[in-house]
Amino acid sequence: MAKCKLLILFFLLTAGTAFGQASKFGTYYDQRKSLFELLPDTRNEVVFLGNSITDGAEWCELLNNPKVKNRGISGDTSEGVLNRLYQIYNIKPAKVFLLIGINDLAKNVSPDTVFANICKIVSILRTKSPSTKVFVQSILPVNNTFKTFSSHTGKTAQVIAINGRLKEICPRLGATYVDLFDALKNPNDDLLNPLYTNDGLHLLGEGYKTWLTVIKPYL
């Protein structure tokens, strides 16, 4: 009996390894990352890189362009993007549109660290794939009148601070800053316009439509 219990305990302790453990970035992250490894590469790709806000769009259909690739992963952070950035610079895309940071803030990562990680992402892309044009999109506004994502939607001041620093440094990094914040916020305050969201964080179709009007000159 004792031997049997020891065998069961050993099985339980090793089952995670046998069947595959999730990385520290989560199971969905691992699923998407593994899929991205298998997808074919084409010349002159336009890559949208980010978290759930990027993941949630059908970019190639919105832009009517099969060369547009969605490399968003719901829940991703700046550290997560750094961990999978080789998948982007190895394919030498024509353009990369980066949007990342709000999940970091929700996890109480400091704004200084978020800013530094975004700068690192840009610097690596520019070094590893010099011909790629990098567009750093501002972290989007959030709206704390919605309660679903309260850890995210209370970060307006931090979002504004990071965006200001990104706008200032992008020219020095060889990147273009794209201001989505002002286009998506309320006219009279800094909250995400409720016409564009139903949870204070993610976008409805009209939000993506407004996003497109901002980035079309860069496409």
pLDDT digits (tens, 9 = 90+) for 42-64: 899 999 999 999 999 999 999 99
Map out the domains of the chain with their CATH numbers: 27-218 (3.40.50.1110)
- The answer, yes or no, to whether residue 112 has pLDDT greater than 60, is yes
Joined together, the tokens standing for residue 30 give 């691992």
Look at residue 14 and tell me whether its pLDDT is greater than 90: no
Region 15-42 average pLDDT: 82
- The residues facing 176 across adjacent strands are 135
| Contact assessment for residue 199 and residue 146, using Cβ atoms and an 8 Å cutoff | yes
What pLDDT digit, counting tens, does each position of 151-192 carry?
999 999 999 999 999 999 999 999 999 999 999 999 999 999
pLDDT at residue number 11? 41
Q: At what angle do helices 156-173 and 111-128 cross, to 10 degrees?
A: 30
Residue 100 has pLDDT above 90, yes or no: yes
| CB-CB contact of 57 with 73 (8 Å) | no
Least confident of 38-42, 60-64, 101-105, 138-142: 38-42
Q: What is the pLDDT of residues 63-84, one digit of tens each?
A: 999 999 999 999 999 999 999 9
Q: What rounded mean pLDDT belongs to the chain?
A: 92
Q: How far apart are CA 103 and CA 181, in angstroms?
A: 16
